[in-house]
Structure 1
């Protein structure tokens, strides 16, 4: 027994020596990069502790405890009380101290007496074990980024949206994209009782690159939704029973083969059609068409366009087929259908035009065409046979509309390829990453506002603008537009003029760019943003002290002079906020009764590097628009890029990686900010941990806010739909989903008088496999 114990102590000692030397070796390299000096002495102390244990020297115990105390002082001095930052900095040294203390009975002083007695060693071991267990237990608790003060949001408009009816008639409930419902049947006091009312399966699994990102509509006694294959389905909103379905039979192309989405359909009532035959569902396809259906029967309206369809490839030239497709819900208002389209990123120059067009909702006839090459000068459609200017910034989200002003608002992306700016047209630079306001009837530009200058990082503005009438302190009201961006910046503009209502500052940024690149020396920064603090070395994270050190080394090896540090062919450049967001297409919600903006975000740093295409071929790299290598044909360089991850498969930067945030627009202050989602169902190196640890995961889709004091959300990487308290951000209810979700929840009052909340679950975003995919439409209601 004694020999076995001695052998175990020696093994522990050898392991600590090896781990300590690796930590010290990495620490030496980090110092040469100008990084922290902590890891070298800490590694040497760990190795010395291991050596002492192997030799059964009593001083090993004292050294282990000294290392623990020093590491705690260092950790708190670097990151304060940030729980998730403290974990990798402290747990390893707690374990080392615990092992040394457990080994204490066999350790001897120079005079061969015990260094401490068994009872004392046992007592200290219990204390250390309790500390480790306490840390582990706290991993299952939410650690707010900003804790609510406890004060309820002041009610600014008690009657907000009271006249908006019982339906959900547009993608964002209304054309202002507010995602707010005045219903309070389900509220903070009874949401805990929410149950599944019905479930429907569409029959189209989200596989082979398809994703369910749809927000259904409900109008009258019918719910409408689309599948990733652009099939439109009508359901009974009380029972979930199918009424009809229509299949537009999409063509699969190289462009949409791995990119099939349908985020929503539009509903309209035609003013020039007979009563009872005037209701239409307008939808689009991933092969570039618009079609119109009778909302009551699902029959194709053959008087629309060419036998029910409008071909959006007309006027886009030969490169559009297979490259141009639609994924987002169209805006349909005042008899006009307004659409843009998605283009393949990063593959080549010469991509088709990003033209935005308006069509007559009754006939399908084109009314106007706005493109960046003509801008405010001309929005008339080109004659048949002519082609809109190639390579103009496109609009691939959903537009918003102010009926009083007659103005529609849409966000733009940039000219492809995204990571090389040397080939950009002046008009592309003028309109990249912008919000553009046009007259809905004519397409004539009213104003535009640019959210980034010379976008180098695929910072397309994609979320639907949110329109809100913001009350001022002097009793006046300003009609504002709230635009969320991938940069995490939230721009609040007067929607009449495009002038900032919340201050915007233009700050100097790095201009150390490759020859031939065009870069801007300043970028716009709003006074309101989420998750935009520049990363620094101490923000590097990992599951342990070892991969944290690895991440610090990687960070110091990269180019990083803050956001907009240009890419290089010499070294990798850190990209943060990453090109997934910030805020992606999912958008946010506004509670107009309190003036609170509620948004979910993504915080995932990436890195990028220019690479010669010949070198990429030699490495066997496969080109794609979204993968780790893109050719960028027509430019001098391909681009290599990836997520910034540790060898253990966890992000190299501190959590949360996604959050839900409530912002008081009157003051610009964050009322609360909560990590959103757990690691439970998120694969790490292909394996889901199954642990409900609420780190805060990258989010997709958007929130739903109600006057019942609730925010509903189901777009995290775990399989839950949640209801949060609007005043505190605390979770009041959750429902387990069969698979993950990506869209935004919606709600309505049905004919039976009940309030329903509906989510669509087709699988979490971009899993890369056909596992854990679904086709579930799930409605919740009170018993």
Structure 2
């Protein structure tokens, strides 16, 4: 009888030995997963793979049949777990296709009894044909990676009827507010650029601000356009005016903000406001306001902006000169009335990063506070100032709520630790009501020290009279927030046409939880049903938790995780992720953190929908939203233990001290050793929702892996996996949605009816803001994006300062 070494080529023995080893690793992990109560498949698959490897080493024919049986079993298993979900099939099939391919190639050298004289498992031609079939399967899967796989496919006749034909026309050819108007819908009626010609879009001009997005600076700005000028701010709060047609700089102003320890790694300016004092409206009661009667001789048209060292200022829109009659020599100090920064925290923890609401003579601002470092942070008070004089008109804070919105006497301070508002508000001029979302009392993850008023107003949308700050109503989107689910996106106002022909004025609030709350903006009553569902209350001693949480009938990416949702680039890191999942605490959303084991947090505290918000096709009533689908984990840890093991505290990093509470909190992304998320794609989508019916019309993955580094390696291939998004969309009357807040360096135009990508333009670096559009003095429609780099990378690589305008030839 011939020896094995003569029958089995060296390469086949090496490959067989490697497969046997990998199979044993898979089987060992599978046994571990079974011990945790998980799937049995990996154990048997690993043993079968090891068997194939042994068969190759011994040149046995049964190696081929075992490999094919393993492939068939894996297909049946995959279908039973995930149906036809393409990306879920990838790790479940590729490895076993490769194993079968290797066995098919080796088939002419595999024998029934191991003797050279025996008949081979397959002759060369049948083996070659089988290998080609298996190779075609592998190639087909790889080819499928390069096309998008919608989560919700648009129906064949997906066009939406127009219900508001005059939508968008109130702002003329301009973009006068951060969300285009005070209703925050980011909709323009322009149709010069449309589905038929968007493929011809080209760069009209490029302007560079000179402030690179480095050292913690991020460009998240959406410019304004008034008359013939574009206005924007840089992360260091420089305000710049450029010609809207040529992109030539007209003026710039530098308020020279002080950089504190708190803002050294957090420099933002998401937008500016605008006021024309000649167009101020009378109060709802018919009386003129002080702003109407005390008209200044200069600065009649004002750009309103804020700084990261908590100042408010106005500039002459024509010249860029400081309006020195505003506040104290041109500035209002927003730290007045706030309690001192805790001694345990960094200097200057209160700052402003978002665009102010400017409407009817009032500037409305909130502020950002450092999360999770300490108790005793300053108040989250929301204030209204006279746009002409800078006089404080009112102050709403959660400690007083609906009882009193009058400014405090000089020398007094607003109650510390109240939930803050750090986004941009919306305004209904007919009702005279402003709407703003709130955050949470810090620290975010420990609830044992929460004030009753913090629990009442955390993660809420609040409606106040813009002129007085008097609260009309509030609605809470989460009960006793344990997970930094502060509501940050600008509310969107819409007149919702019902099936019976009636019209309800609604406010749409997107949340990090992925919930889309649609409320009557007159009184806060839900228009889309809200259900209060039971959640886990198995919390640490001393923690306050709620036993129910509100869920809207409209939501995005909120399906609860299960073991089969765990993902990976291969069967091996998928198994790793399943083991990690089974080792975590997870009883659904709002599973409380523990010090004993890690708790899965999903939706994650970055979103759902973050500050970038959504857009509304105001003509059809279709809501367009981008979301983030990134799970995190967290656990409580004693501060001295965290110090002992070398965890470095920060507000955004993997450890926060939560000084003044019994526990610090350690947290991170839920990812595999390969650096990819441990849960199924997409990790970010763009969705279209019919508000009248609540139906999701389409949902597509947003962004590719092309420019997203993993362990420092940039893939460089355009695989539309759907990556975490930032910023927000723009919707146009041309039937298009523009978006550039992806991790790859593109601005895209999507078909509003189907979600199909119709055009993309390569950017020099990534973007984080929202596009805007206007018609210039030349009669051309422009689409403008600001690109300073994709969302936080931790380095100064691939950063920029670009303002890029597109138009048709």
Alignment TM-score > 0.5, same fold: yes
Question: Equivalents in 1 of 2:310, 2:170: separation in Å?
Answer: 36
Question: Equivalents in 1 of 2:107, 2:197: separation in Å?
Answer: 55
- My pick for the range that moved more, 458-467 or 268-277, is 268-277
Equivalent residue for 1:115, pick from 118, 121, 139: 121
Question: Equivalents in 1 of 2:176, 2:584: separation in Å?
Answer: 48
Is residue 302 of structure 1 aligned with residue 324 of structure 2? yes
Question: Equivalents in 1 of 2:329, 2:503: separation in Å?
Answer: 46
Question: Equivalents in 2 of 1:691, 1:374: separation in Å?
Answer: 54
What is the CA distance between 1:378 and its match in structure 2? 0.4
Aligned to 1:563: 589
- Once the two structures are superposed, the pairs formed by residues 528-539 of structure 1 within 5 Å of their partners are 528-539=554-565
Whether contact under 8 Å (2:607, 2:627) holds in the other structure is: yes
Aligned to 1:261: 268
- Secondary structure of 1:470's aligned partner: strand
What is the CA distance between 1:4 and its match in structure 2? 11
Question: Equivalents in 2 of 1:335, 1:595: separation in Å?
Answer: 30
- Once the two structures are superposed, the pairs formed by residues 91-490 of structure 1 within 5 Å of their partners are 91-110=94-113, 112-151=118-157, 152-271=159-278, 272=292, 273=295, 277-319=299-341, 321-490=347-516
Aligned to 2:88: 85
- My pick for the range that moved more, 102-111 or 659-668, is 102-111
What is the CA distance between 1:619 and its match in structure 2? 1.1
Aligned to 2:797: 771
Aligned to 2:284: none
- My pick for the range that moved more, 542-551 or 54-63, is 54-63
Question: Equivalents in 1 of 2:266, 2:62: separation in Å?
Answer: 62
- Secondary structure of 1:27's aligned partner: helix
Question: Equivalents in 1 of 2:417, 2:167: separation in Å?
Answer: 42
Q: Cα deviation per residue 1:666-694 (whole Å; 9 max; x = unaligned)? A: 10000000000000000111111001000
Aligned to 2:281: none
Question: Equivalents in 1 of 2:585, 2:498: separation in Å?
Answer: 43
What is the CA distance between 1:250 and its match in structure 2? 0.6
Whether contact under 8 Å (2:380, 2:417) holds in the other structure is: yes
What is the CA distance between 1:202 and its match in structure 2? 0.2
Aligned to 1:35: 38
- Secondary structure of 1:723's aligned partner: strand
- Once the two structures are superposed, the pairs formed by residues 635-646 of structure 1 within 5 Å of their partners are 635-646=661-672
Q: 1:275 and 1:363, CA in 2 relative to 1: closer, same or farther beyond 3 A? A: closer
- Once the two structures are superposed, the pairs formed by residues 335-734 of structure 1 within 5 Å of their partners are 335-734=361-760
What is the CA distance between 1:265 and its match in structure 2? 0.2
Structure 1's consecutive aligned runs of 4 or more residues displaced over 6 angstroms after TM superposition are 2-5
- My pick for the range that moved more, 202-211 or 101-110, is 101-110
Task: Name stretches of at least 5 consecutive residues in structure 1 with no aligned partner.
Answer: none
Equivalent residue for 1:740, pick from 766, 785, 790: 766
Question: Equivalents in 2 of 1:223, 1:14: separation in Å?
Answer: 66
Q: 1:288 and 1:57, CA in 2 relative to 1: closer, same or farther beyond 3 A? A: same
Q: Cα deviation per residue 1:237-270 (whole Å; 9 max; x = unaligned)? A: 0000000000000100011110000000001012
Give the number of equivalent residue pairs: 782
Question: Equivalents in 2 of 1:163, 1:258: separation in Å?
Answer: 39
Question: Equivalents in 2 of 1:458, 1:17: separation in Å?
Answer: 46
- Secondary structure of 1:771's aligned partner: coil
Aligned to 2:288: none
Question: Equivalents in 2 of 1:472, 1:70: separation in Å?
Answer: 50
What is the CA distance between 1:56 and its match in structure 2? 0.9
Q: Cα deviation per residue 1:9-28 (whole Å; 9 max; x = unaligned)? A: 00011101110000000000
Whether contact under 8 Å (2:478, 2:550) holds in the other structure is: yes
Whether contact under 8 Å (2:8, 2:59) holds in the other structure is: no
Question: Equivalents in 2 of 1:327, 1:534: separation in Å?
Answer: 33
Q: CA RMSD in A?
A: 1.1
Question: Equivalents in 2 of 1:495, 1:172: separation in Å?
Answer: 18
Q: Cα deviation per residue 1:541-597 (whole Å; 9 max; x = unaligned)? A: 000000000000000000000000000000100000000000000000111211100
Question: Equivalents in 1 of 2:575, 2:710: separation in Å?
Answer: 19
What is the CA distance between 1:113 and its match in structure 2? 2.5
Whether contact under 8 Å (2:189, 2:734) holds in the other structure is: yes
Task: Name stretches of at least 5 consecutive residues in structure 2 with no aligned partner.
Answer: 279-291
Question: Equivalents in 2 of 1:318, 1:725: separation in Å?
Answer: 51
Question: Equivalents in 1 of 2:597, 2:14: separation in Å?
Answer: 41
What is the CA distance between 1:150 and its match in structure 2? 2.0
What is the CA distance between 1:55 and its match in structure 2? 1.0
Question: Equivalents in 2 of 1:351, 1:507: separation in Å?
Answer: 32
Whether contact under 8 Å (2:676, 2:710) holds in the other structure is: yes
Question: Equivalents in 1 of 2:108, 2:121: separation in Å?
Answer: 8
- My pick for the range that moved more, 96-105 or 136-145, is 96-105
What is the CA distance between 1:104 and its match in structure 2? 1.3
- Secondary structure of 2:738's aligned partner: strand
Question: Equivalents in 2 of 1:417, 1:345: separation in Å?
Answer: 6
Question: Equivalents in 1 of 2:7, 2:470: separation in Å?
Answer: 85
> What TM-score comes out, normalization by structure 1 length?
0.99
Question: Equivalents in 1 of 2:60, 2:70: separation in Å?
Answer: 16
- Secondary structure of 1:342's aligned partner: coil
Q: Cα deviation per residue 1:410-464 (whole Å; 9 max; x = unaligned)? A: 0000000000000000000000000000000000000000000000000000000
Question: Equivalents in 2 of 1:760, 1:5: separation in Å?
Answer: 61
Question: Equivalents in 2 of 1:241, 1:3: separation in Å?
Answer: 78
Aligned to 1:75: 78
Whether contact under 8 Å (2:299, 2:323) holds in the other structure is: no
Question: Equivalents in 2 of 1:25, 1:173: separation in Å?
Answer: 57
Aligned to 1:63: 66
Is residue 17 of structure 1 aligned with residue 20 of structure 2? yes
What is the CA distance between 1:160 and its match in structure 2? 1.9
What is the CA distance between 1:163 and its match in structure 2? 3.7
What is the CA distance between 1:614 and its match in structure 2? 1.2
What is the CA distance between 1:157 and its match in structure 2? 2.1
Whether contact under 8 Å (2:237, 2:254) holds in the other structure is: yes
What is the CA distance between 1:5 and its match in structure 2? 7.2
- Secondary structure of 1:292's aligned partner: strand
Question: Equivalents in 2 of 1:115, 1:257: separation in Å?
Answer: 68
Whether contact under 8 Å (2:7, 2:59) holds in the other structure is: no
Question: Equivalents in 1 of 2:496, 2:67: separation in Å?
Answer: 59
Question: Equivalents in 1 of 2:777, 2:6: separation in Å?
Answer: 78
Question: Equivalents in 1 of 2:530, 2:44: separation in Å?
Answer: 45
